[in-house]
Structure formats: C-alpha cells, structure tokens
C-alpha cells in the first residue's frame, strides 16, 4: 500500500465540518430540525460543497459538544450520521471522519464508509473506541477534553496548560497504541474551547509547536468560530470569519498539520499563505 495518511506532512489538511445536529453552536439546525428530522439531501449537498471548496477530509458529527450541550443517545447519533456518511462516501473519494466519542457510533460510520474517527475526548469517554479504530484500520484523532462537555467550562484549572495538555494527550496516545493503532494513523488535537479559559486557549495556540514536537504526531486544530474569538473581537458567531483566519494562520505557522473549519474556501487561502511563511522560516523557500 502506498502513502495513505490523512494528514501527510506536505500539506495542511483541511477538515470540513458537517454537523448533523439541532444544536451545534455555529451551524446547528441546518440539517436537523429541533424535532429531530434530518434533511439528508441537503446535508449531502453541503458536504459535497465543502469538497468543492477544497476539503481534504469531511468531519461528520451527530452530537454537539459545545459547552453545556445535552448528550445524545447512541441510536439517535447513528440515525443522524449513518446514511449521510454512506451517501457521501459513495458520491466522493474524500475521506470521511466521524466526530463521535462512542465506539458503536464510530463502528456504524466505518461500516458506512468513513475512514477516520474524531474523538474529542481522547478515549476518555469510551475506551472501546481504540479497539474499533485498530481493528478497522481507521485514522484516530485524539482530542484533549477533561470531563464531559456538559460541565467542562465549570472551572477549568491548569497550572501549565501546555504541559498538562501534552501529558494528558500523551496518555490518550498511549491507550491508542496499546490497542494497536499505529502512529501513522494517529493525530492529536489540543481541544481548543474544550474546558479552557480564554487565556488557556491562547496559551495552547501560542504553544502549538511544543505540543507537536513533544508528541511527535500531526496536530489538528479547531478554532473555527469558537467563543474565545468572540471574546477577543466582540463578534457574534456568524461574524467570526476574520478572527478564525487569524487564529488558523498562527496555528499553521506554528506547525499545525490540519485545521478543522466551517469555511473551507477561506481556510485554504489562509493555509496557503501561512504554510509558505512556515517554509520560508525553515529556509525551504516557496513550493
């Protein structure tokens, strides 16, 4: 088999967000009504539009993990995501990741054609997820999150957030390796906005280079439209495009291997400029 990494070192991998939830903070309710009805055709069309904009991976999620979000049952999460993953996998070659903390939801999405699992809890919610990823040969994205989304913002306490995130992500990586997931299929994510204060989110973005070199794995970053950006600029969610691009440019310059974003077309341009600057700093010149 040739090189099939989802986050290869030569590019910034753009992960387009497709939330099939009634309540995600930015795009909730676009495809799922408050009563739970899914508009499958519209969701698939939106996924294909992200591909046309340049997404390298589509991240499909059926449970909001915004602060204070209510948990969703497994059957409901599978009902929201399974058919859309299947239709997208048939309609496009772009790899699909399933944004879930649950082994059974992951397995259903992998059955439907997904190739990666994006677990914001870093195997802390459902340790069985690691075995599923290993057995199915899936790429596993390990996020940093202490506790549960419902309570994570209550009182985030870190003495040295970068060091502690490195240590705790390291524990997630160790669990994944122990279950048999090889390093070529592992990605880490510092969990921007997951149980962190404004200052902690900024420290993580500023310390991204340390995280990548300490763990020796590709780093994915998800700042897109998050509330820490609104705290800095005063912008409402729908107005956070410019702030998102600023944060993403810094993330790429600091070594991010991937960006999880709502606006793929804008982030593709940001990534092109920031990656060129990263190469220039490393003395590599423009590609």
- 226 an active-site residue? yes
Residue 19 in the binding site for ligand HH2 (CB under 6 A): yes
Residue 26 in the binding site for ligand HH2 (CB under 6 A): yes
Which residue among 6, 12, 14, 17 contacts ligand HH2 (CB under 6 A)?
Answer: 17
Residues 6 or more apart whose Cβ sits within 8 Å of residue 3: none
Q: Among residues 82 and 122, whose Cβ is nearest to ligand HH2?
A: 122
* Segment contacting ligand HH2 by CB under 6 A, of 13-21, 42-50, 248-256, 263-271: 13-21
Give least dist CB 287 to ligand HH2, A. Answer: 26
Give least dist CB 221 to ligand HH2, A. Answer: 7
Catalytic residue (choose from 66, 185, 225, 260) = 260
Give residues 89-148 in contact with ligand HH2 (rule: CB under 6 A). 99, 118, 120, 141, 143
Give least dist CB 171 to ligand HH2, A. Answer: 17
Give residues 174-203 in contact with ligand HH2 (rule: CB under 6 A). 189, 192
Q: Which of 135, 99, 132, 137 is nearest to 117 (CA)?
A: 99
Q: Among residues 99 and 107, whose Cβ is nearest to ligand HH2?
A: 99
Which residue among 94, 96, 260, 270 contacts ligand HH2 (CB under 6 A)?
Answer: 260
CB 13 within 8 Å of CB 257: yes
Give residues 207-226 in contact with ligand HH2 (rule: CB under 6 A). 220, 222
* Segment contacting ligand HH2 by CB under 6 A, of 38-46, 62-70, 126-134, 174-182: 62-70
Q: At what angle do helices 74-91 and 40-52 cross, to 10 degrees?
A: 50
Chain residues binding ligand HH2 by CB under 6 A are 17, 19, 21, 24-26, 61, 64-66, 99, 118, 120, 141, 143, 189, 192, 220, 222, 260
Residues acting as catalytic residues = 226, 260
């Amino acid at each position: 088999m040739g090189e099939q990494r989802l986050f290869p070192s030569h590019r910034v991998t753009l992960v387009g967000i497709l939330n099939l939830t009634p309540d995600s903070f930015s795009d909730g309710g676009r495809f799922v009504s408050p009563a739970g009805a899914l508009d499958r055709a519209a969701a698939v069309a939106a996924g294909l539009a992200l591909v046309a904009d340049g997404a390298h991976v589509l991240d499909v999620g059926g449970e909001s993990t915004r602060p204070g979000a209510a948990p969703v049952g497994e059957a409901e999460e599978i009902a929201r995501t399974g058919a859309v993953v299947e239709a997208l996998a048939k309609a496009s070659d772009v790899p699909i990741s399933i944004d879930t903390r649950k082994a059974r939801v992951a397995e259903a999405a992998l059955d439907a054609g997904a190739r990666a699992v994006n677990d914001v809890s870093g195997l802390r919610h459902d340790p069985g997820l690691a075995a599923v990823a290993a057995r199915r040969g899936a790429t596993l994205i390990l996020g940093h999150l202490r506790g549960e989304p419902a309570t994570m913002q209550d009182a985030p306490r870190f003495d040295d957030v970068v060091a502690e995130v490195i240590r705790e992500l390291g524990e997630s990586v160790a669990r994944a390796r122990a279950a048999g997931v090889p390093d070529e299929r592992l990605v880490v994510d510092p969990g921007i906005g997951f149980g962190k204060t404004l200052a902690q989110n900024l420290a993580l973005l500023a310390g991204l280079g340390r995280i990548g070199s300490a763990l020796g794995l590709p780093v994915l970053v998800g700042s897109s439209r998050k509330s820490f950006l609104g705290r800095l600029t005063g912008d409402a969610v729908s107005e956070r495009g410019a702030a998102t691009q600023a944060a993403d440019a810094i993330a790429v310059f600091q070594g991010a291997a991937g960006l999880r974003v709502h606006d793929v077309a804008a982030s593709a341009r940001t990534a092109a400029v920031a990656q060129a600057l990263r190469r220039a700093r490393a003395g590599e010149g423009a590609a």
